[in-house]
Amino acid sequence: MITTQKLLNNILASGMAAILTGCASVQGGITNFAIGIVEDRIVPPILELNDVDMGCQFATSGFPLISSATRAFYGDPALLEALLYTTSAVCSEKRSVDEELRYLRATRASQIPEAQDARIAQKRLLEITAQRQFSAFKLMRSHLEAKYDFQYGETCPTFERDYDELTYVLGTIAGLQAVINDIASQQMIGVPTDIAPLSERAMNCVSNTKWWGVPLAAKAVVWNILPGGSEGKNVWGSFNRSMIIAERSGVRLAHVMYAISAQAAGNEERFRDATKRWAKAESFKPSKQYRLIEDISTLTMTNLSDRYWAENVGTRTPIASIGNYWDESNSSAQDLDLGDLLEQ
């Protein structure tokens, strides 16, 4: 894999060549050629990473360098920026969950100042997360609308590259997440809620089978969260169909969307079903091509499970216990005591 330093050297070399030409249009052409190399040769190996922390740390630290270096020489790295923003949001969202867990523990212990402090920290991190996700959505939308001459959520583009289509799918999911996280942060960003219905229609433009069942799962999320949106729709059946595809394709993002939707609706039975489906997928093999996305899905499911456990028991999910619960018979989590948790 090309290192960050080599990437910088390549971009700077392209930039120097552009400077020598003295023409903005030529500079932009050369820089966009370099961006194309990054998209075609560097992004795929990054998507194969099985280390989420490394991936989102790279996105967070590398974004200013990549964005400024390419835009300084009239390049358009919008799609690359959208992916970096989406991945970077994983880090800030994880930190927000940690603060939420601190809040829940402090509340159970009647530590009022500690609980208040944790809630404030959580909302600040949710604001950062929503901002990154909304930025990813806007960059994806504006760039692809200009490139393919279509209106997002109204008409469909004819994609020339899987990379463009992948960014379309992930950018759409980021937009939905931005709406949810902005609401949780008391709408500090002001993410427009009409992203939800636009996203529902936009997902008609991509293959549900090709993209791990995510398009139908995203539509089901919208049906579930919009008032009256579920009328005449088989919401939970749609999640089920999406999860079957997800398990075959090696990316369980649809399971996470099912869990998020169930948790948002306060449906504990459906939430537990989502975690059990995730944990007990038979003969499941993570996608090699999109391992990072599968591992981000795993982290997100862990975050959701940790929140549920902390609300009910006061601790994170015990090791290797996603989908198992303290109040179920024949559950490995049923008889956990303090000694068990310390051993883990």
Query: Which candidate, 156, 144, 146, places its Cα nearest to that of 82?
Result: 144
Q: What are the two backbone dihedrals, phi and then psi, of residue 75, each rounded to the nearest 5 degrees? A: -85, 165
Look up the pTM and report it.
0.88
pLDDT at 230: 83
Please state, in angstroms and rounded to a whole number, the distance separating the CA atoms of residues 141 and 148.
11
- Beta carbons within 10 angstroms of residue 4's beta carbon: 13
Q: List, for residues 212-241, the tens digit of each pLDDT value.
A: 999 999 999 999 988 888 888 999 999 999
Query: Quick check: 229 and 176 in contact, CB under 8 A?
Result: no
Query: Quick check: 307 and 100 in contact, CB under 8 A?
Result: yes
The DSSP call for residue 242 is H
pLDDT at 341: 47
Please classify residue 211 by burial: count the beta carbons closer than 10 Å to its beta carbon, then call 0-12 exposed, 13-18 middle and 19+ buried.
buried
Low-confidence ranges of the chain (pLDDT < 50): 1, 338-339, 341-342, 344
- Sequence letter at residue 237: G
pLDDT at 7: 58
Residues 6+ apart with CB under 8 A from 181: 93, 126, 129, 130, 133
